Amino acid sequence: MVCIYVQRLVDKEMLRSDDILTDPLQITKRGLETHARNEAFRAFFRLPREENLLEVYESFLWLPFSYFNTLGKICVSENYLCFASQDGSQCHLIIPVREILSVEKPDRLSRALTVCMRGKRALRFSEVRDFERLAATIRKKCGNTASPQHSASCQALLECGEDEEGLMVGQRSSSKTVSTEALMNVFHPQDAENLDPKMLKEKMKEQSWQIHFAEYGRGTSMFCTRRTRDLIVRGVPESLRGELWMLFSGAVNDMATHPAHYSELVEASLGASSLATDEIERDLHRSLPDHPAFQSDTGISALRRVLTAYAYRNPKIGYCQAMNILASVLLLYAKEEEAFWLLVAVCERMLPDYFNRRIIGALVDQAVFEDLIREHLTQLTEHMTDLTFLSSVSLSWFLTLFISVLPIESAVNVVDCFFFDGIKAILQLGLATLDYNMDALLCCSDDTEAVTILNRFFDSVTNKDSPLPATVQQAPVGTNDRAAQRVDISDLIKEAYEKYGDIKSEEVESMRRRNKLYVIQTLEDTTRQNVVRVVAQEVRFSGPHMDELYVLFKRQHFLSCYWTAGSAALQHHDPSLPYLEQYQLGLAQFSSLLLLLQPWSPGAYTHTLARWTFRLIDDNHDGLVNFREFCRALDILYSGSFTEKLKFLFKLHLPPVAPVLLALTDSAVSKACQPSQSLPLGEEPPAFTRLTVCSPDGPDDGVIRRSPEKGRGKVDLQAYLKQWQDEIQKKEESIKDLPRIEQAQFILLSKTLYGLFHGDPEEEALFRAVARVTSLLLRMEEVGRRLQEDSQASTSPQSPSKTSPSLPQTSSPTKTSPSPPQTCSPSKTSVSPPKASSPTKTSASPPPTSNPAEAIAEQLEAVSVDPEALSPGQDPVSASEEAPSSPKASSDPPSPSSSGTLETETELANTPSEHTAPPSPQGMEWSFSFEQILASLLNEPVLVKFFEKPVDIQKQLDRAKRDQLKLKAQITK
């Protein structure tokens, strides 16, 4: 199961293509074993990722070139029949079903069957345990080869193996804009009449390979044996290099499986502009700048098309540095479409996880290289106790396959071995390089001297058999003493295979799996340290507490990713994002974690409060909260002052669209909003308020946006830098900048306070304190309203019938901030003032001289609203009209009093389970500023003491850790 966690963390796209792993709740041991077996099968035979191991048969295969039978296993997949020997002959064979013509009638005595193939070839398998079933399977698959996936490629194959020379499958459908010649053939065509000694040796290599093709076959169904490896080590002729690269890498099968795919990608990505294309354009002229092929538009255009097409095909990788160097070398010896599929084979199969921002694959192979150094170069290990230096020096060797450190005429020989033996060839050559310079490295006194020695060595490596002209070769030519000390690349590769050829590919893969966990853990530790260091500057948590919070946050993210199908956090998780954005929580995960860490007693209000908190701290409105945003909110709840906590609760109960509309101009507000409309916090705001803050200058809001070419994961760097700059320059928000809280939101704020007090030893005293503050605020507002009415009556007298029902103006003497702009909502939720002629409305209205607090207290008796169905932007009057009245069920309310104030306290001080929302007396609208509420609450010492009571952070973290582990156990069951 650990391997699945690692793969989800590194490459979640691959999981989507595997049905076994798409639903984490359905993962079984058998499914994991099948997944591992399929991966090993594809890696060994270099098959497309769509192939899966279906059947395995043990049998003997007749080797015509050796005249004996070799024991091995037949592996059958959807479109391939593969064989690998098990008797030490190191022979393996790949037979595409598209090349099988027929299966002869099985021989029951020897349990043998003969497979007839194109090119007048036949393969005889004997001693097959279930030979009849195998014959039926092959016949069935041969009948299905005319599927749309393979029909075009089958026609492109020629009947005879001799006619396959120089032809790669799928080339017919290439676009006219795609180059159909290798750049080396265009810029350096071979002269057949040249009798130079190097050319004569090149002809001898070609002749040796022709003999090999005659004996072992040619094309995709060629026998690969030790003899093949020996020819690779001695060097591949220039004319066959592209064909053999395609064969050994498995790219020929990828291209046959997806005919015309490259041309479609080129046309689709033509003219596209993205972050990847900008980086590609920047690096085009840095790819082999000294080679004539890339000093012309022909080579540059071909390189641009290949890199852009791959970025379009695989947006998860897009483009990374070092891909341009690799692709330029591939274009020298392969046709453009072939170079594209070679790049696909390298990036997605042979060097997995190399080409991304964290280069996990390269770091894993660096750890494997260190293990091999300790095992084979003990003398160097004793001298250099810290091998980290060698890992940093050799990183470019692995990323560019030695192309960046060796002359091009020598580096291509290394690429030959890589395509045949995979990463094992690079590891062997790295060990041989260190071994060759052992004496000089043992005498080094510092790292700089060691780097100089290695650089000097690579400059001295040459390819004495290279037929390339001097204008192409990068190694200096001369006959001085230094030239006499040069090392031939063929000798170096031969020495690497002789000394370290016993390293098996299976061992390398095992070491990769073992070191992958270590590398990822190291990267995660580095990420944690960076995140904690940045966030710690903004909060008051200690270092150990920050570490524990990070672990809790990360575990909550993992619970979402690994045990929740279709998780939003998993869909948006991308390791290439800045480290602060790598782990994020959706609403459900955030609510669960906040409930574990909340400093107050849980109650019916907690889920609603968590939802409002999520929407408040989601700064960029992407539906996800990162660790920084989470810690800022938790820091206020744990360590904030009385004013900070109250301001936080105050902002929770403001409509979510109000802060966004504050950035609009007055004209935009008047056009976008209608009077008397508000948006409930329980509802989603309009799309434009969730994506951007409208302003006259356009969408220049500093919001991090997903890049179109990635679909997810990539960041708009300009917007990110602007947001970062805005955060640095952001001033602390003043309480005077807060909008006034309206009637419905204030009532819910009071109910939230009641919920926080539930279970506290001084619960009743706290209830009474809030009731006194509420009554005081209502009386202050009533006084301000009467003063305003008297002022209006003295200037423009009106009839009492028209004055009493009109909406009162909220110009209280204590008012210090302007009223908030009206908010948009699909439906009108505020209460319209009743007309005086309506008898029913008039009878329900309080008399002009009645106390507003008493009026509200009276109506509390007649309405009860579910807190989950009521949001801060929703009018309690409309909510009470829609929902049927329910009898109140108050538990231990404060004792009633004869005064109006205590009567108001009795009615308002409900238990947190009720959260009843009183409707406003019809004809009345009132609001309060934050300063008014703060000043009133400061007069109640019991409230101040409650909010400033210190929180035992360690106790909260320990409890949250235990509860989270219990939750994980429940989910995994």
Select the more confidently predicted residue: 88 or 111.
Answer: 111
Assigned token pair, 684: 């989603």
Which DSSP category does 741 fall into? E
Condensed to tens digits (0 to 9), the pLDDT of residues 111-155 reads 899 999 887 789 999 999 888 899 999 998 887 544 334 433 333
Give the range among 24-38, 103-117, 393-407, 916-930 with minimum mean pLDDT. 916-930
Q: CB 558: neighbour CB atoms within 10 A?
A: 18
What pLDDT, on a 0 to 100 scale, did the predictor assign at position 726? Answer: 63
- Of the chain, the percentage scoring pLDDT greater than 90 comes to 36
What pLDDT, on a 0 to 100 scale, did the predictor assign at position 695? Answer: 34
Q: What is the mean pLDDT of residues 1-17?
A: 48
Condensed to tens digits (0 to 9), the pLDDT of residues 271-301 reads 888 888 999 999 998 888 888 889 889 999 9
How far is residue 493's CA from residue 236's CA, in Å, rounded to a whole number? 13
Per-residue pLDDT band at 481 (split at 50, 70, 90): very low
Assigned token pair, 557: 């993210």
Which among 863, 672, 617, 823 is positioned nearest to 739, based on CA atoms?
A: 823
Residue 333 has pLDDT above 80, yes or no: yes
Residue 817 has pLDDT above 50, yes or no: no
Select the more confidently predicted residue: 179 or 77.
Answer: 77
Which of helix, strand or coil describes residue 182? Answer: coil
Per-residue pLDDT band at 187 (split at 50, 70, 90): confident
Condensed to tens digits (0 to 9), the pLDDT of residues 685-702 reads 333 233 233 333 333 333
Condensed to tens digits (0 to 9), the pLDDT of residues 600-633 reads 877 767 888 889 999 999 877 888 898 999 999 9
Select the more confidently predicted residue: 105 or 566.
Answer: 105
Condensed to tens digits (0 to 9), the pLDDT of residues 656-667 reads 643 333 333 333
Which among 391, 397, 393, 400 is positioned nearest to 369, based on CA atoms?
A: 391
How far is residue 304's CA from residue 240's CA, in Å, rounded to a whole number? 25
Compute the residue count for the chain.
Answer: 973
Contacts for 955-963: CB closer than 8 Å, 24+ residues apart: 956/597, 956/599, 956/638, 957/545, 957/548, 957/549, 957/552, 957/597, 959/596, 960/552, 960/593, 960/596, 960/597, 961/548, 961/552, 963/596
How far is residue 637's CA from residue 787's CA, in Å, rounded to a whole number? 39
Q: CB 800: neighbour CB atoms within 10 A?
A: 10
Which among 428, 463, 545 is positioned nearest to 237, based on CA atoms?
A: 463
Q: What is the mean pLDDT of residues 730-755?
A: 80
CB 661 within 8 A of CB 690: no
What pLDDT, on a 0 to 100 scale, did the predictor assign at position 564? Answer: 57
What pLDDT, on a 0 to 100 scale, did the predictor assign at position 570? Answer: 58
Assigned token pair, 671: 């056009």
907 Cβ contact list (under 8 Å, min separation 6): 856, 857, 858, 860, 861, 918
- Strand order, beta sheet including 113-117: 92-96, 80-85, 68-76, 55-63, 121-126, 113-117, 100-103
CB 115 within 8 A of CB 125: yes
Per-residue pLDDT band at 924 (split at 50, 70, 90): low
* Average pLDDT in the chain: 74
Cα R_g (the chain), whole angstroms? 38
Give the range among 605-609, 741-745, 751-755, 886-890 with minimum mean pLDDT. 886-890
Give the range among 191-200, 490-499, 549-558, 641-650 with minimum mean pLDDT. 191-200
> Parallel, antiparallel, or unpaired: how do β-strands 741-742 and 584-585 relate?
unpaired
Position of tokens 């945003």? 629
